[in-house]
Structure 1
Amino acid sequence: MTDGLPRILGGRYEVGELIGRGGMAEVHLGHDIRLGRTVAIKILRAELARDSTFLTRFRREAHSAAGLSHHSIVAVYDSGEDTFTETGGADIDIPYIVMEYVDGQTLREILNDEGRLSPDEAARVTMGILSALEYSHDKGIVHRDIKPANVMLTKGGSVKVMDFGIARALADTGATMTSAQAVVGTARYLSPEQAQGETVDARSDLYSAGCVLYELLTGRTPFVGEPVSLVYQHITDPPKPPSTYEASVPDAMNAVTLHSLAKARDDRYQSAAEFRADLQAARTGAPLSEGATAVFSAAAAAAPSMMDHEPQAPVAPARRDHTREIHDREPQRRLTGLWVVAGIIALLAILGIGYLVMNGGKGDNPTATVPNVVQKSEAQAKAILRGAGFDHYQVKEINSSSVAKGYVVGTDPTRGSTVDPTTLIQLNVSKGPGLVQVPDVTGKSVAEARQALGSQGFQNVAVAPKKVDDTEYSAGDVVSAYPAIGSMADPSQKVTLSVSSGKVHVPSDLTGKDSGEAQLAVLQANLQPKVENVPVSDEGQGGKVLKVSPHEGARVDKGSTVTLTVGVYSSQTTVTVVPPPSSTSEPSSTSSSSSSTPTTTPPSTGPESPTQTGPPLTPPGKTKTHKK
């Protein structure tokens, strides 16, 4: 605060108390004055603001997460930079990110408090993580740092994945996980390919999610030890089944977990959707995928003692429920009541009354009520329909921005309808929002870009306030767009255009370079080189750039001429001695005159050497003679 007033960022975000701190940034509770909502504000630590590496990573987080809109991903609302005055009086720009405020705890905090979760709750939470990854992977973004500290659980039990700070586009072919011999990510959750510094893809996230699932089930990660030891274990050691450390983990959950932790990425789950489907199957007792079954069978054959457990009732961990489930310890009288109700229903069925009740009292025209399956997965919805007596159904995929991909938006007939059980029920399943590819508008004027974007349904188009230097495009032409050109985006999303200033900088370090190398650098900067040669007596300066105009680093118009003053070396004059004349030669005075005439070897000249004046010079190695 200044003079008792709260700190305001961007003219609208009031910075409140510190609620979190990481190695790179601090997170404050904030208030959006304009919209009147609570937000979280992540601010880069001041001491790191001068470090280009941290600045790049922090800005990349904002760009990576800003285009992700999903119920299981912490939303990024805005970003910007705030000028901060240091103690010495120098001003420095501190970037910040405005995010959705999540009222809850990280999985790391929950595991620290409770040790582990029940198998069903562990699967549910992991499914939420996978739902977020499925969405980000479809957008071309790999998270690359999935771990309990980057996953939050709200007080209502919702899963929220955060911190896309080291995410990269899948198309970035140079996106390996090593930088200056350092492995990015947390060692306990690294995929084998990350540990070896190879290029990562979506399946690397799935391995990390498998490590998180393992820890949720058992209270420990698949491998433990020092960071260097962990790296080798991820690469070489097969993980033990979770039930080795926690007997309550069922075999189906063992199979899913081990399949997600396969060393070769081709051997593990190939998509978040596959992983999530197997988790749901493990929860409901449905058959698992062939891959999960095969991995578990192989593990059982290799170490059968790991799979053999004495039958025992699972011991629930000391934990609170994160979903609205019925508690196990109900009063005994309620159990007695349930038995009484069950007995009455059985008696009604025996007497034939139950048949009439279940069929609306119509006898010859049985009916059933369409159950509510909205927000259920496709597999869950089908199971619920079968349980309600509906064996005929079909799936129709539709666009939906409010329901996650793969989950039911609604049914036809609608829920609550009383129909014949043989009626065909249509399940309308979300295929996510209707996404459209952002067209290529680079090199176009803003008006032309707006027209091209509008033709694809993008009506909300803005221009970034700061123009971009050092591009190949003329002033006013579009340089790039966000969301990125070629990416898939919701047409309702705002598209921000970055526009060229038409200004470029004269390359630095031209002085002292060879003439050809310097000319190429000038051309690559979208400028025009002009060479002016000057003679030099120092052979080392021959062919080198001596002067640049305008000066190096100058900000000039694209296409401007840059004059390179290049040295041309001239060799010293040489004298060739003429042999003595014979007796038949001209008089001695003539010979003497001839012999004293020097032979000049001119300097090597190129097409752009200074123009010679006066009589032509004799070519090297030849003697010029005079005849009377």
Structure 2
Amino acid sequence: MGDVYRAVDVVLQREVALKLVRPVADTLMATERFQREARAIAQIRDPNVVSAYDFGSDGPDSYLAMELVTGCTVGEELREYGPFTADRALHVVRQAAAGLAAAHEQGVVHRDVKPGNLLLAEDGTVKVADFGIVRFLDEETTTMTSSAQIVGTSHFLAPERALGKPAGPASDIYALGCVLYQLVTGRTPFTADEPAAIMFQHVEREPVAPSELRPELAGECEELILWMLAKDPAKRPTALQIAGGARPSNDTTTTELPPVRRPDRRRVLAGASAGLVLAASAVVGVAVYNEAEQKPATDSLLPGKPSVEPTATAVAVRTTTRPPVTRSTKPTTVRTTGPKLTKSTKSAKPVKSSKPDKTKKPKKPKPSSGKP
């Protein structure tokens, strides 16, 4: 949402990332989202979250001055060099988890965690960015949710959100688990042509184990991924646990809650009418909304902005390189087998007896002769 430019704060004489929102058809909603982002990142003080410096308006335009991060996004590095090693991916995700932990501590849920919203600075620091569709845990329904829209990116959408339930901190963890899965395998846990089909898989399917795609992922990395991708939000780790390097086998701080009953297929399909079918209008729009945000900014700002360099460039342009990742020559194997379906046994038909019915008939009385 909005265009981001590299600009100069003429008062403090420092470079900043300047995000602008210009009047559009849905100005009220765009402005509300913009204000929410400013409010969210202003509450968070953490080295793994992009800092906010200033917020205001200039005529019909609203602006947000933020920390300038020179480098690239995690998504850009993935596209350029391919899958990460397990160690590097864990290092990136744990830093992102530290930033999310700081946000969750302030009652802020990101709701759109994905590789494109994780900035990778030149010094290797990972910073969580783009809090434009956050949810505050201390608020009731807002104009953003009262219309029953599901916001986010379908490839990283938690099952509970696909069913139309509110986002919580555990929803960010699931999304981050999808990011980790993609970083080490080169693909998202679930894929399909339509967002609704992807959302259905988040609810009903289990992902292919990462070690089946790359055997060397067996162990700590795979354990963490599957822990983060638990269907039940209560069974996922917290952001603080991930940042601290916790593992399912040795973690002792997680409180085991009563198991949550998984929705049956009919309920999921019914939920699809309210949630997945909603994707035809909401999620498809969301996909367009999110993908549009990834487009590079234009080369100049509005005329008459003296604080902006005439040759402004988009934030997070890649300025560093790393050696190409050596890819394995072994072919990737994908599990295609599933549980065998057992045909139900037909019930036996009643057997008819071939013997005649031996039931005795009552004897007829003899006719009277009429004699006394």
Task: Quickly name the TM-score band, shorter chain normalised.
Answer: 0.5 to 0.7
Query: Which letter does structure 2 place at the counterpart of 1:268?
Result: R
Match of 2:215 among 247, 251, 272: 247
Match of 2:127 among 150, 160, 163: 160
1:44 maps to 21
1:29 maps to 6
* Structure 2 residue 229 is matched with structure 1 residue 261: yes
Q: Distance in 2 between matches of 1:275 and 1:240?
A: 22
Gaps of 5+ in 1: 1-23, 84-92, 295-318, 329-628
Query: Which letter does structure 2 place at the counterpart of 1:289?
Result: D
**C-alpha displacement at 1:289, in angstroms?**
2.9
Q: Distance in 2 between matches of 1:245 and 1:179?
A: 41
**C-alpha displacement at 1:175, in angstroms?**
6.5
Q: Distance in 2 between matches of 1:218 and 1:134?
A: 25
- 1:540-581 CA-to-partner distances (Å, cap 9, x unmatched) read xxxxxxxxxxxxxxxxxxxxxxxxxxxxxxxxxxxxxxxxxx
Q: Aligned with 1:182: secondary structure?
A: coil
Query: Which letter does structure 2 place at the counterpart of 1:115?
Result: G
Query: Which letter does structure 1 place at the counterpart of 2:233?
Result: R
Paired residues in the alignment total 260
2:46 maps to 70
**Which structure 2 residues correspond to residues 474-553 of structure 1 after superposition, within 5 A?**
none
Q: CA RMSD in A?
A: 2.6
* Structure 2 residue 266 is matched with structure 1 residue 289: no
**Which structure 2 residues correspond to residues 172-187 of structure 1 after superposition, within 5 A?**
172-174=139-141, 178=145, 180-187=147-154
Query: Which letter does structure 2 place at the counterpart of 1:113?
Result: E
Q: Which runs of 4+ in 1 moved over 4 A?
A: 175-179
- 1:375-430 CA-to-partner distances (Å, cap 9, x unmatched) read xxxxxxxxxxxxxxxxxxxxxxxxxxxxxxxxxxxxxxxxxxxxxxxxxxxxxxxx
Query: Which letter does structure 1 place at the counterpart of 2:170?
Result: R
- 1:335-357 CA-to-partner distances (Å, cap 9, x unmatched) read xxxxxxxxxxxxxxxxxxxxxxx
Q: Aligned with 2:217: secondary structure?
A: coil
2:68 maps to 101
Query: Which letter does structure 1 place at the counterpart of 2:232?
Result: A
Q: Distance in 1 between matches of 2:17 and 2:156?
A: 26
Bigger Rg, which one: 1
Q: Distance in 1 between matches of 2:230 and 2:87?
A: 22
**Which structure 2 residues correspond to residues 115-154 of structure 1 after superposition, within 5 A?**
115-154=82-121
Q: Judge conservation of contact 1:177–1:200 (CA < 8 Å) in 2.
A: no
1:113 maps to 80
Q: Judge conservation of contact 2:109–2:135 (CA < 8 Å) in 1.
A: yes
**C-alpha displacement at 1:181, in angstroms?**
4.5
Q: Distance in 1 between matches of 2:77 and 2:143?
A: 32
Sequence identity percentage: 36
More strand as a share of residues: 1
1:82 maps to 58
**TM-score scaled by structure 2?**
0.65
Q: Judge conservation of contact 1:107–1:149 (CA < 8 Å) in 2.
A: yes
Q: Distance in 1 between matches of 2:13 and 2:5?
A: 16
Q: Distance in 2 between matches of 1:188 and 1:164?
A: 18
Q: Distance in 1 between matches of 2:187 and 2:88?
A: 16
Q: Distance in 2 between matches of 1:67 and 1:245?
A: 40
**TM-score scaled by structure 1?**
0.39
Q: Aligned with 1:47: secondary structure?
A: coil
**C-alpha displacement at 1:290, in angstroms?**
6.9
Query: Which letter does structure 1 place at the counterpart of 2:49?
Result: I
Name the CA shift for 1:180/1:76 in 2 (closer, same or farther; >3 Å).
same
Q: Distance in 1 between matches of 2:100 and 2:29?
A: 26
Q: Aligned with 1:31: secondary structure?
A: strand
Q: Distance in 2 between matches of 1:241 and 1:278?
A: 20
Query: Which letter does structure 2 place at the counterpart of 1:172?
Result: E
**C-alpha displacement at 1:136, in angstroms?**
0.8
**C-alpha displacement at 1:60, in angstroms?**
1.1
More helix as a share of residues: 2
2:322 maps to 320
**C-alpha displacement at 1:291, in angstroms?**
9.9
